[in-house]
Amino acid sequence: MLKREKILIASVDFPPHTDGVSTISGELADHFYDFGIDVLCIGPKSKKDMEYDKKRRYRIFRFYGYNLGYLRFFPFFFTFLIVFLRFRPKKVFAMNIGYGGLISYFLKKIFRFKYYLFGYGYEFEKIKRRFLKNVYLKIYENSENIFALSNFVKNRLIRFGVNEEKIFIVHPGTDPSKFYPAEIPERFLKEENLEFLKDKKIILSVGRLVMRKGFDMVIKSLPLVLKEIPDVYYLLVGDGPIKNYLKELAFKCGVEERVIFAGRRFPSQLLYFYNLCDLFIMPSREIKEKGDVEGFGIVFLEANACKKPVIGGKSGGVVDAVIDGYNGLLVNPEDENDIAKAIIKILSDKKLAERLGENGYKRVLNELNWENFSRKVYEFIK
């Protein structure tokens, strides 16, 4: 019997956490196992991780201290070292350059193995000190390949000083078996207290409530939208540091009764939210002083998988996720008039909305799904 290749996927962010890096790490692990690889994973200890791990057929090693900020490096490091020395994988996917990437860089000086990195669009822009920049460049230089989630991310890596020959663009995807067109059960509407939204026009956003997502600009655009389409409601699924600010903004704009904060949800709970809406929107913009930018935008694909049209901001890697006029519309994320115009255009034109949603749905099925993503990555490393 042939011995299966061992690959370690080491991530500070891992399911059941629901951020982008966690999703990519978990999907990569699931599909690599299906490809016949002996997958080993490192991820943080968190609520419901035992429930998640029991459903997996590969080994996941959890470290404590996720909420310690940068100090979590130490429990992550010890877990990484123990797993690496015990199983001696020949290939490592370091999903976070400042954690697994840094450790892999030093271990590679002692042990013979290859490590791979991902570029998300924000990680290297936060590095201001020349010393740290040089450390990051060394980590990139000694990796086998860097997988960039979009053309924007690739260009940022090159601008940072990374060798272009090492960089490959691999667009992320979504899972059409988890996100698909579905009827909304009455039970869901009752449990979420959303029965009053029947026969209303619903705009949906899903994501962490932070400034770069542009949810504040959607709220600012609502008074303009309501003049043209009076039965519109804005449903926000997520939580984050600017939640109170968004609530205050809705009040100042006089639309507090039209903005619904649904709170954070696990991926398994999102299907009906996507299917409930008429339009998905996330007009992301770059927060330059923080180096905060959207590297791609998996949520656009999740909405498209449910045959919903999307609106995204002309910023970062969103232009790879949303093809203007094909699966959605792109807007100036700093202009509430432009945002309102796009919302009105889609909500008042049923044929346009259906065409955008259908195109996005086909794109997910044929191209932007996790199996294709994982297979492309695996083809590069074979």
- Model's pTM, two decimal places? 0.91
Predicted confidence at residue 1, as pLDDT, reads 46
- Examine the domain organization and report whether 45 and 117 are in the same domain: yes
- Examine the domain organization and report whether 65 and 89 are in the same domain: yes
Predicted confidence at residue 10, as pLDDT, reads 98
For tokens 């869901």, name the residue. 188
Instruction: For residue 56, tell me if it sits in a domain.
Output: yes
Predicted confidence at residue 269, as pLDDT, reads 85
Predicted confidence at residue 125, as pLDDT, reads 63
Q: What is the mean pLDDT of each run of 10 residues along the chain (382 residues)?
A: 84 91 96 97 93 95 94 97 97 97 96 95 74 92 97 94 96 96 94 94 96 97 98 97 98 98 87 98 89 90 98 96 98 98 98 98 98 96 88
What is the C-alpha R_g of the chain?
Answer: 21
- Examine the domain organization and report whether 343 and 374 are in the same domain: no
Predicted confidence at residue 124, as pLDDT, reads 67
Instruction: For residue 229, tell me if it sits in a domain.
Output: yes
Domain of 111, CATH number, reads 3.40.50.2000
Instruction: For residue 176, tell me if it sits in a domain.
Output: no
Instruction: For residue 177, tell me if it sits in a domain.
Output: no
Contact 316, 286 (CB under 8 A): yes
The per-residue pLDDT for range 29-51, each reduced to its tens digit, is: 999 999 999 999 999 999 889 99
- Examine the domain organization and report whether 54 and 25 are in the same domain: yes
- Examine the domain organization and report whether 283 and 344 are in the same domain: yes
Residue type, 278: D
Q: Give the range of the structural domain holding residue 342, as residue numbers without chain letter.
A: 186-366
Count of domains forming the chain:
2
Contact 92, 104 (CB under 8 A): yes
- Examine the domain organization and report whether 374 and 337 are in the same domain: no
The alpha carbon of residue 30 and the mean position of all alpha carbons in its chain are separated, in whole angstroms, by: 17
Which neighbouring-strand residues pair with 354?
Answer: none
Instruction: For residue 331, tell me if it sits in a domain.
Output: yes
- Examine the domain organization and report whether 262 and 326 are in the same domain: yes
- Examine the domain organization and report whether 146 and 280 are in the same domain: no
- Examine the domain organization and report whether 39 and 86 are in the same domain: yes
% residues pLDDT > 70 (the chain) = 99
Instruction: For residue 181, tell me if it sits in a domain.
Output: no
- Examine the domain organization and report whether 249 and 260 are in the same domain: yes
Instruction: For residue 47, tell me if it sits in a domain.
Output: yes
| CA atoms of 269 and 263, how far apart (whole Å) | 11
- Examine the domain organization and report whether 197 and 234 are in the same domain: yes
- Examine the domain organization and report whether 373 and 358 are in the same domain: no
Instruction: For residue 285, tell me if it sits in a domain.
Output: yes
Predicted confidence at residue 4, as pLDDT, reads 86
